[in-house]
Amino acid sequence: MSERAQHFARGMFAALVFISMSNLFSQRSLVPPGPPAPVMKTLDQVEARTPLPPVGFDAATDLALTISEAGSYYITQSITGVGSDTTEERLAGGVVIDANNVQLDLNGFSLTGSEIQPTQHGGAGIYIAAGRMSVSILNGTVEGWGEAGISADGTVACQVRSVRLIMNGRNDDGVTSPGLALSESGLIQECMAYGNGSAGFKAGPGTSIERCTAQMNGGNGFTAEGSTLRDAIAYKNTEIGFSLQLGSTANRCSANENGGDGFTTSLSILTESTAYNNGGIGIVVGSGSLVERNNSRSNDSFGISVDEVSSGSRVADNVSSFNEGIGLFIRLNARGSRVEGNTLYANGNSGLRALGEGNLVVRNFARANGDTGNANDEFDIIDAAEGYGGLIRADSGASFTTDQPWTNLYTF
């Protein structure tokens, strides 16, 4: 190729490169495609909940705060209400929830009835209408209402978390109410019920109670039917610490210094729990119950009692000590229960006494019970015709052998 042709080719190549680069970096249209989009969140987006009370609400004259639509609500101030004294409006009170799918955050504030003395008036602190479902109440205090602190009878799938229920249900007409009443398939977590008129907590079938405390209530600490309780405490309530009925389960619970029995069971399970210094029996075992690995100590009556006319229970691997009465008492007409592997120590009466027939009593150990220093103080088996594994004395420091693995053992 001639020199002239070469110069021409190089020139053409440079021109093509320049044109391509110009297209690549050319300025685009200066006309915007539309108005600028918002870059900040609206106030409704930042706090997408409805504040309560609404503007213009007067707790002295308005009957109650009413929530009638689904949504998330939060309290912006503590509220003291008057409520109603008439029969027709008895359930009126602090907040009435008559809708499904509601969350109410008390936001650390309190709903307080007209008085905190036994002469108070008014309805429930929070009333969830019967038939409602999926309601949550969180984070605050409900105190001083004439009816229940939170009344949710007839509801389904409701939740109460981190709420204090104080001195509710103490009407001057003599009708008492619990701190919290929740019906089916509910969840109660990290709540405290103190000084309410009847039970601290009343829970229906399918309800779970976790890490709650009931103290100094006028009835039971906990009344549960078909419920599950974990890590709960009943302290100084007037009646029973835990009443477990109709398929309830309690694990790692504590009943201390209640006026009545520590635990009562019927068709229920009680495990790894403690009954201490209660005014009645430490643990009362009803029909069809499983009571294992519990500690009953220093109660004013029996340590453990397999109840009159009960049947088909298992009482195993418990410790009953320093109780005023019998360590473990199988009452007359209690039948068909298995009592095995329990330790009975230093109780005021017999270690184990069996009046009922047809029970299996094996592998229990008793020492230092009663005050007469004889074998009957350790095991007092009235009817040993069936289901009794026999008795061997095993003194401290002495060796013993047996070919009967079901034998009950005792020492003085």
Q: What is the pLDDT of residues 205-217, one digit of tens each?
A: 999 999 999 999 9
- Round to whole Å and give the CA distance between 148 and 152: 9
Please list the residues that pair with 229 across neighbouring strands.
Answer: 209, 250
Q: Is the confidence at residue 364, as pLDDT, over 50?
A: yes
Residue 252, sorted as left (phi over 0), alpha (psi -120 to 50) or beta, turns out to be left
Give the pLDDT confidence score for residue 175 in this predicted structure: 77
Mean pLDDT, rounded, for 176-184: 94
Give the pLDDT confidence score for residue 391 in this predicted structure: 72
**DSSP 8-state code for residue 389:** -
Helix intervals (H) in 258-384: 375-378
Give the pLDDT confidence score for residue 346 in this predicted structure: 95
pLDDT tens sequence across 27-62: 556 666 667 666 665 655 556 799 998 877 766 666
Q: Is the confidence at residue 399, as pLDDT, over 60?
A: yes
pLDDT tens sequence across 290-319: 999 999 999 999 999 999 888 999 999 999
| Mean pLDDT of the residues in the chain | 85
Q: Is the confidence at residue 203, as pLDDT, over 80?
A: yes
- Round to whole Å and give the CA distance between 67 and 132: 12
Q: Taking the domains of the chain in order of start, what are their residue ranges?
A: 44-411
Residue 166 binned pLDDT confidence (cut-offs 50, 70, 90)? very high
- Round to whole Å and give the CA distance between 214 and 229: 12
- Round to whole Å and give the CA distance between 247 and 345: 30
pLDDT tens sequence across 122-161: 588 999 999 999 999 999 999 999 889 999 999 999 999 9
pTM here is: 0.85
Give the pLDDT confidence score for residue 55 in this predicted structure: 79
18 vs 133, which has greater pLDDT?
133
Which of 78-87, 91-100, 187-196 is the least confident region?
A: 78-87
Q: Is the confidence at residue 15, as pLDDT, over 60?
A: no
Which of 3-17, 87-101, 169-183 is the least confident region?
A: 3-17
* CATH of 44-411 given 2.40.128, 2.160.20, 1.25.40, 3.40.50: 2.160.20
172 vs 382, which has greater pLDDT?
172
